[in-house]
């Protein structure tokens, strides 16, 4: 009897092991099998998404149809085309539901919405406007006015829309007084909007970026902390960093080139600097959700305290999240570090690298929202009931971000199941030199983003392809990080100079500048910095040159380029005296 029981137990265990192994193998090989089965058809979903984004200029429609095209391919076998379309629609819904059901994804969506609520509260309390006005009072010359505008753009780091809507109207009277062209003001606003928000550790962008990074790493089976990867990409976000440096260098040298120099010279000579585009001003008022409530006494503390609560809360939330993860794990060496010296640099580094960014950021955003509500109610700016309405209203502005995220995750899911990345790897891994991939990703991201006017959608389309492809070419994390940064940076470059980008439009409106004039004068600057980004940034980084050498090299190259192409915007008056702003 005992022998029989032993045999039964043995056979049960054996069958379980074999079944588990077969199931695991099937899950692992589904993408490879589909890549072999469908071949070039696996490229259809991203191609559909990209092509329709060019045609329709609507990223959500493009992503949805891209997802459905993948579902159609997966369901066409054994079904007629009409049933395949029906099943692809059901597949779309299921993938969207699965995306939201994932705790990480749900946390990302919640923190994006919560940060939107905090930003709206800060705006209605007059905090953001107070900071901009305080800075504008310090502008005493053309140089200082431009630098102050740049600093203000850095301080409004949490949202690109907020930057465009706040900085432009506040600095416009100052720059007009200092005879700085509206085109130059629009450029500074635009160049400190998406480029700053895209690399800010706490912003309305980080949820999207971290979410896409996490999904892409999951697709290649690499256990990486998405927030840690995001932090690692920041030094390699060459375009973002260089365009900020470009503003400072040209402002201090008072040198410009191309159409911008012509606009600056005309303004210095006293030509009209006022936009006659009344429609643009009307449109700006529609978008101006950051205007304080009537009768609010402006105070910089109305911004410093809530945003400070957001930052400090995030630091504590990251540490606590990482600490609990480590203490619940099995790494005895790290556990001892946390026990023996919990406040040491090593302990903090380990805690942050093990933290759940989606939960930590949501916790800190919720805490900051509560602080802002209580503060506003205490100062009698609004009641708690009104504060809740303002908070929810701020969330509404970022619902579109959540929709794009869900669509992007769903597209990533169907691309993964079809084996698109595996097919591309087979196609390109042997023929593509490793050093050129980051540059190609940057260029492709720039083209898509420029044509569509959205960096969000571009990131959602490219990230699921770029990370697996870079991993197949060179599995070293440093190389993958460079490729990842190229996706994020290329998308921002295209968005920055695209005439149909929201931030480009809002920047021209905020500056009171004709939109076409803004695009025309900004384009040469953006392209110049993009060329420096590729030649002196991503190509050397692709060869493995450390970033502490690449960035200084890129800055030197940019400075030399400005000296070669740039010319002074100083003019002489009738008596031959120079009109200088020093």
Q: Tokens 């753009």 — which residue? A: 153
Neighbours of 99 (CB within 10 A): 22
Q: What is the DSSP letter of 434?
A: G
- Residue 576 structure tokens: 């031959």
Tokens of 545: 């040159």
Burial of 205 (0-12, 13-18, 19+ CB in 10 A): buried
279 CA to centre of own chain:
29
Cβ(402)–Cβ(106) under 8 Å?
Answer: no
pTM of the predicted model, to two decimals?
A: 0.68
Of 512, 401, 518, give the one whose Cα is nearest residue 455: 401
Read out DSSP for 234-273? GGG-HHHHHHHHHHHHHHHHTEE-THHHHHHHHHHTT---
Cβ–Cβ < 8 Å for 69, 38: no
Going by C-alpha positions, the residue among 215, 230, 201 that lies closest to residue 410 is 215
Give the H or E element holding residue 433.
none
Instruction: Tell me how crowded residue 2 is: count the other CB atoms within 10 A of its CB.
Output: 6
Rounded to a whole number of angstroms, the CA Rg of the chain reads 26
Task: State the DSSP string of 481-530.
Answer: HHHHHHHHHHHHHHHHH-TT-HHHHHHHHHHT--HHHHHHHHHHHHHHHH
Task: Give the domain ranges of the chain.
Answer: 104-570
C-alpha distances in angstroms, 384 versus 266, 293, 374, 515? 51, 15, 7, 40
Taking CA atoms, 32 is separated from 26, 39, 425, 426, 540, in Å, by 10, 10, 11, 10, 33
| Residue linked to tokens 């571009």 | 458
CA distance 30 to 446: 32
Cα-Cα-Cα-Cα dihedral of 320, 321, 326, 329, to 10°? 140
User: Tens digit of pLDDT per residue, the chain (582 long)?
Assistant: 444 444 443 444 333 333 333 333 334 457 677 777 878 888 888 788 877 866 776 768 888 888 888 888 888 876 678 888 888 888 888 888 888 888 877 887 887 788 788 878 888 888 877 876 776 677 778 888 899 889 888 877 766 766 776 677 777 777 887 888 999 999 999 999 888 888 887 776 777 788 889 888 888 888 888 888 998 999 999 999 999 999 999 999 989 999 999 998 888 877 655 544 444 444 444 445 557 777 778 888 888 888 788 878 877 887 888 888 888 877 788 888 888 888 887 787 778 767 777 788 788 889 989 999 999 888 888 888 888 988 888 888 778 767 877 887 788 788 778 877 677 666 766 667 888 999 999 988 888 777 666 787 778 778 888 888 889 888 899 999 999 999 999 989 987 887 767 677 778 877 888 878 888 899 899 999 999 999 999 999 999 899 999 999 999 999 999 999 989 887 554 334 444 444
DSSP string across 20-58:
HHHHHHHHHHHHHHHHHHHGGGGGHHHHHHHHHHHHH--
Q: How far apart are CA 302 and CA 128, in angstroms?
A: 8
Strand partners, 7: none
Using an 8 Å Cβ cutoff, are 203 and 159 in contact? yes
Beta strands in 457-540 (DSSP E): none
Task: Work out the burial of residue 578: count CB atoms within 10 Å of its CB; fewer than 13 is exposed, 13-18 middle, 19 or more buried.
Answer: exposed
Q: Which of 87, 81, 92 is nearest to 49 (CA)?
A: 92
Report the distance separating Cα 237 and Cα 456, nearest Å: 16
Within the chain, what is the greatest distance between any pair of CA atoms? 116
Distance CA(544)–CA(407), nearest Å, equals 34
């Amino acid at each position: 009897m005992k022998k029989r029981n032993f045999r039964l137990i043995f056979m049960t265990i054996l069958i379980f092991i074999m079944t588990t192994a077969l199931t695991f193998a099937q899950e692992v090989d589904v993408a490879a099998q589909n890549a072999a089965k469908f071949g070039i058809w696996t490229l259809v979903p991203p191609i559909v998404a990209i092509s329709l984004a060019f045609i329709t200029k609507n990223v959500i429609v493009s992503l949805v149809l891209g997802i459905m095209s993948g579902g159609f391919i997966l369901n066409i076998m054994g079904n007629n085309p009409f049933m395949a379309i029906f099943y692809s629609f059901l597949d779309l819904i299921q993938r969207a539901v699965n995306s939201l059901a994932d705790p990480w994804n749900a946390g990302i969506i919640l923190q994006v919405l919560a940060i939107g609520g905090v930003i709206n509260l800060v705006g209605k309390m007059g905090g953001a406007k107070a900071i901009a006005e305080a800075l504008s009072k310090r502008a005493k010359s053309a140089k200082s006015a431009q630098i102050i505008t740049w600093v203000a753009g850095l301080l409004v780091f949490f949202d690109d829309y907020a930057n465009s809507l706040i900085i432009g109207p506040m600095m416009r009277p100052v720059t007009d007084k200092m005879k700085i062209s509206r085109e130059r003001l629009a450029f500074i606003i635009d160049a400190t909007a998406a480029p700053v928000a895209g690399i800010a550790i706490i912003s309305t962008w980080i949820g999207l970026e971290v979410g896409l990074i996490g999904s892409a790493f999951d697709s290649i089976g690499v256990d990486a902390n998405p927030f840690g990867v995001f932090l690692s990409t920041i030094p390699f976000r060459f375009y973002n960093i260089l365009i900020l440096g470009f503003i400072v260098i040209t402002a201090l040298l008072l040198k410009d080139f191309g159409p911008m120099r012509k606009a600056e010279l005309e303004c210095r000579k006293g030509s009209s600097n006022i936009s006659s585009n009344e429609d643009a001003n009307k449109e700006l008022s529609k978008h101006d959700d950051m205007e304080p409530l009537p009768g609010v006494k402006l105070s910089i503390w109305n911004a410093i305290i809530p945003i400070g609560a957001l930052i400090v809360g995030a630091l504590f939330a990251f540490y606590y999240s990482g600490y609990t993860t480590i203490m619940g794990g099995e790494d005895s060496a790290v556990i001892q570090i946390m026990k023996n010296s919990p406040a040491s640099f090593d302990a903090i580094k380990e805690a942050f690298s093990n933290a759940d960014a989606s939960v930590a950021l949501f916790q800190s955003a919720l805490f900051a929202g509560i602080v802002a509500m209580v503060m506003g109610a205490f100062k009698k700016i609004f009641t708690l009931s009104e504060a809740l309405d303002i908070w929810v209203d701020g969330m509404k502005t970022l619902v579109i971000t959540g929709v794009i995220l869900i669509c992007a995750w769903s597209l990533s899911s169907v691309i993964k199941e079809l084996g698109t990345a595996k097919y591309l790897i087979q196609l390109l891994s042997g023929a593509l030199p490793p050093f050129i991939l980051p540059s190609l990703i940057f260029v492709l991201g720039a083209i898509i983003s420029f044509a569509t006017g959205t960096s969000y959608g571009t990131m959602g389309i490219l990230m699921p392809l770029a990370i697996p492809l870079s991993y197949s070419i060179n599995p070293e994390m440093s190389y993958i990080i460079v490729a990842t940064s190229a996706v994020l940076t290329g998308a921002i470059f295209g968005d920055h100079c695209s005439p149909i980008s929201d931030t480009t439009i809002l920047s021209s409106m905020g500056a009171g500048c004709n939109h076409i004039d803004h695009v025309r004068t900004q384009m040469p600057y953006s392209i110049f910095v993009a060329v420096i980004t590729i030649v002196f940034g991503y190509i050397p980084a692709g060869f493995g040159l450390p970033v502490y050498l690449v960035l200084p090299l890129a800055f030197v190259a940019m400075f030399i380029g400005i000296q070669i192409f740039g010319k002074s915007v100083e003019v002489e008056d009738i008596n031959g005296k120079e009109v200088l702003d020093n």
